[in-house]
Amino acid sequence: MLKIGIIGAGRIGKVHAESITKYVKGAEVIFIADPFLDEATKQWSTSLGIQHTSKDYHDILTNPEIDAVLICSSTDTHSQISLEAIKAGKHVFCEKPVDHDVNKIKEVLKAVKNAGTKYQVGFNRRFDHNFKAVKEAVDAGKIGRQHIIKITSRDPEAPPISYVKISGGMFLDMTIHDFDMVRYLSGSEVVEVYVMGGVLVDPEIGAAGDIDTAIITMKLKNGAMAVIDNSRRAVYGYDQRAEVFGSEGAVAVGNDKSSTAVLSTKEGVVSEKPLYFFLERYMQAYTSEIQEFVAAIVNNTDVPVNITDGLEPVIIGLAAKKSLDENRPVTTAEIKNIFGL
């Protein structure tokens, strides 16, 4: 029985705690740490059968019973806690992004390379049943050589402006999932990025120095091209689609819905809206990623999303930001050079 400590009891920390308790065989959460730990959170953790809580995550790192930690704290603490956890000999699952700062990710990368423990990054969408189906079709050669990869990723509503300000910008906060998806579906690397972006949803997002709408085109190492379209607000719900087109065909996935119901009346033929947001849409994926993390530890196999997978999308995101700022295509090599990669 793998013993897990979760650092950060916010929304995503709670999702993991509940999901592990219910669905992940061979693992149990025995410790939750959160600097803002309150009575309600304690009660919640008790109801899940979690034995220990603390305001200090070091209590987890120093606990000899703990095999693995999940880092679900705020992004600016990810790399620091990662380094400490690796040093403490714990297996680590770190929520995305590892950091906004490439230099800090580099440190983690170095630590991971020298460690005997596992390090997995939380790109949950790779574990989603729809995207997995696309990946399997691509890998099985059903669409031949890849030509065009298309990802539509639109949130149902923009985050609060307070969050926008610390989010690292749309590319590192939101699009980073889509950059990962391009890498995952293609099995290749992004070479060059060009962005058209703007503030169309909410001028306050612009005032906070960010954008809310973008079309991002990419050249891949395997010769294919990719395009992502992002919006911070699709009023009809969380729009999460992907398509890979190639020499022998195309495979595409649409949105998940709460039922297959279709209502036909005088007004028209109406079906369900997409599932509202990531908690509704990706719950199964949050479970699967931890199941595979646990399996990698238990079987001593490679983690499905490693530290390089954590680094590359940040590079692409920085290239995207530079492209937006300078209105020109930017290579990922240019960004890597800056950081001596």
Q: Which of residues 119-178 bind a copy of itself (CB under 8 A)?
A: 129-130, 132-134, 137, 142-143, 145, 147-148, 150, 154
For a copy of itself, the closer CB: 308 or 327 = 327
In this complex, which beta carbon is closest to a copy of itself, that of residue 204 or of residue 272? Answer: 272
Binding mask 20-59 for a copy of itself (x = CB under 8 A): --xx-x---------------------x------------
Half-sphere exposure of 153 (CA within 13 A, CB side): 26
Residues numbered 214-243 forming contacts with a copy of itself, rule: CB under 8 A: 214-215, 217-219, 223-225, 227, 229, 231, 233-237, 239
Query: What does the alpha-carbon distance between residue 54 and residue 56 come to, in Å, rounded to a whole number?
Result: 5
CB-CB contact of 240 with 274 (8 Å):
yes
Restricting to residues 245-304, name those near a copy of itself by CB under 8 A: 245, 247-256, 258-273
38 burial (CB, 10 Å; 0-12 / 13-18 / 19+) is exposed
Nearer to a copy of itself, 111 or 182 (CB): 182
The DSSP-derived string for 246-314 is ETTEEEEE---BS---EEEETTEEEEPPBPSSHHHHSHHHHHHHHHHHHHHHHHT---SS-HHHHHHHH
Provide the minimum distance between the beta carbon of 298 and a copy of itself in the complex, in angstroms, as a whole number. Answer: 15
Of 71 and 224, nearer to a copy of itself (C-beta) is 224
- We find the least distance from the C-beta atom of residue 254 to a copy of itself, in angstroms, to be 4
Kindly state whether residue 191 participates in binding a copy of itself, applying the rule CB under 8 A: no
> Rounded distance, CA 292 to CA 288, Å?
6
Q: Which of residues 59-88 bind a copy of itself (CB under 8 A)?
A: none
Burial code (b: 16+ CB inside 10 Å, e: under 16) for 88-108 equals: bebbbbbbbbbbbebebbbbb
